[in-house]
Each structure stands twice: as structure tokens, then as C-alpha cells.
Structure 1
Amino acid sequence: MIKFTPDIDAELIPGVSAAGFVIGESLAAVKERIGSFECYGPDVHLRDILLSSSGWIGTKRRIGLDDQFVFSYRYMNELVSLYFEDREILYRIAVGVGYRGSFHGVRPADSILKLAESFDVDFNSDEDEFIAMKGGKDIFGISFVTDHRASLEHAPEQTIQFISIHDWSLR
């Protein structure tokens, strides 16, 4: 039984919070809040499961060739996704299309150019994501994944698919 429904209207606070969750929360605390749900292991193909999901599902995915795993909890086909690694600390919250909260008025399904109206935007080709910058410095704890995953020079019209709120030091 689901105990907690994400707040899809919550503002996105870089490196801090989204959807009613706070970066740094323990896996045990999040499990307690969410309640019970289906979980799938590393050998299951999730695309069809995610497409038909109307609540929370849990996943466990292998990282590289080692015996390290990412645990994630995904709500309604990745409307909200929570990520944990071996330390069992929430280090990333990703919100997808349909999420109504925003970062300075920018939300999933908006053009990346809307972000560029208020911030300098840099494409990180290593991670295929955009970083918002102010005064020549990256804004810590937030990135934007688009449908093209390419620089604006190569594809100027791009739609934001996911916004990631994170603290990579907690991995």
C-alpha cells in the first residue's frame, strides 16, 4: 500500500529537494514513507513495466562491471525517480514530463531555450545534459536532460525531458 504520493507541485531546489523528498535522506526513511510496492532486479527489462506503472516501483541496476548497484524508486513512469547507491543515501531526484513544480519557472516539457532566458547554459557532453550557470559558475545540484542530448549548436530546439536535483558527493 502506498503511503506517500510525491508533491509534483513542489519547487525544485538545486542540491536540496524536489517532490517532497530531500537529498541525503536514508533509504530506510524513504521506504518507510513510500510503503510497499513491486521491486525488479537487474535482469528485468523495465521499459514496458514503467510505461504501465501507476504508482511506485523499485529497481536495482548494476553499475559497470563491478558488483555495485543503483537502487531507484520510480513513480508513475518516471514522473519522479529517486536514486540510491551502496551507501543507501538519496543522492539524486529526477523529475520528468508532467511534473508541475519548477526551477525559476522552468519545468520538464519546456524548451531548453526557456532556461537560457535567465541563465547561461552549458552542454556537458560527458553526461549528455545541460548545466545552468550564473556569473560563469555552474549552479550546484541541478542539470537538465533533453530529447536530443546534444549541444544547442547541433540542435537548437530541444525539449527538457528530465530535471535532476542531486549531490554527487553522496554517491
Structure 2
Amino acid sequence: MGIKIIANNKKAYHDYFIDEVYEAGMVLTGTEVKSLRLGKVNIKESFCRIKDGEIFINNMNISPYEQGNRENVDPTRVRKLLLHREEINKIIRKVEEKGLSLVPTKIYLKDSRVKLEIGIGRGKKLHDKRESLKQKEADREMAKAFKNVRHGE
């Protein structure tokens, strides 16, 4: 069936150098899945925490489903992420040893299952963010110039 991206966290790539990404499932209720399919989710302010050898996502806002009266749960509740034990151990080692952060980068549907992509990232300093913006602007200018040359302008 393929992949349908529901939400991207562009702020994560602006604030962190993302080194590795992992695909994780999530423990969700039925109304949360229905709301996600409608695209009513915000992961900009969300973050991941490791507790008792498990990984949880905090502050991810899934808006309540309109037709799901009493079945709806708290929109920003803590949700457990589903990963293989080896992946969890590898992530825990990396986050503890280097002071790296675990950041959600995107949420998507893969073969009708909700998946969350989490990245291990190092925080950017202010000068790194400026450098990223300069590079992005230079790439944009180059693409624009190349487009004009191709069209014979």
C-alpha cells in the first residue's frame, strides 16, 4: 500500500543534527487512530523519554475524534512506543553515553499502521542554525538559477 505522511516535525531538523532514525509503532486507542487518519495531530512540541527500559512519547497532541464521545482520551497523554528490545537497548546506550536527544521527526501510515519516526540528534548551537539557514537559502537560489537556465530565460 505504501506510506502516507501525516505530520512532519521540521523544527526537529532545525534544532538538532539528526544522526540516526528509527521506526516505532505506538500504543493507541481506536479514536486516536481515526483522528490521526484525518491528520489531526501535532508533534512539534513533543519529545521522547526513556523510563524503565521503555520509550514513551510525551506532549504529542492528537485532537479528540468528533464522533468518539466517551471513548476519547486525553489529547496529550503519554504514549508508549513499540520497538524491538535490541533497538531500545541501542538507543538507551547512545542517549546516555553522548548526551544525545530522542526527537520525533515524522508520523505516518505504513500499510494501514501508524508509525512514528524518531531520530537521535545532537542539539544545534545558534551559529549552526544560522549556517543551516544560509545553506538552505543558497540551495534555493541555485535551484532557481538552474530552473531559469533550463527554460532559456
Q: Could you state the TM-score of these two structures normalised by the residue count of structure 1? A: 0.25
* Between structures 1 and 2, the one with greater helix share: 2
Greater relative contact order: 1 or 2 (C-alpha under 8 angstroms, separation 6 or more)?
2
Q: Could you state the TM-score of these two structures normalised by the residue count of structure 2? A: 0.27
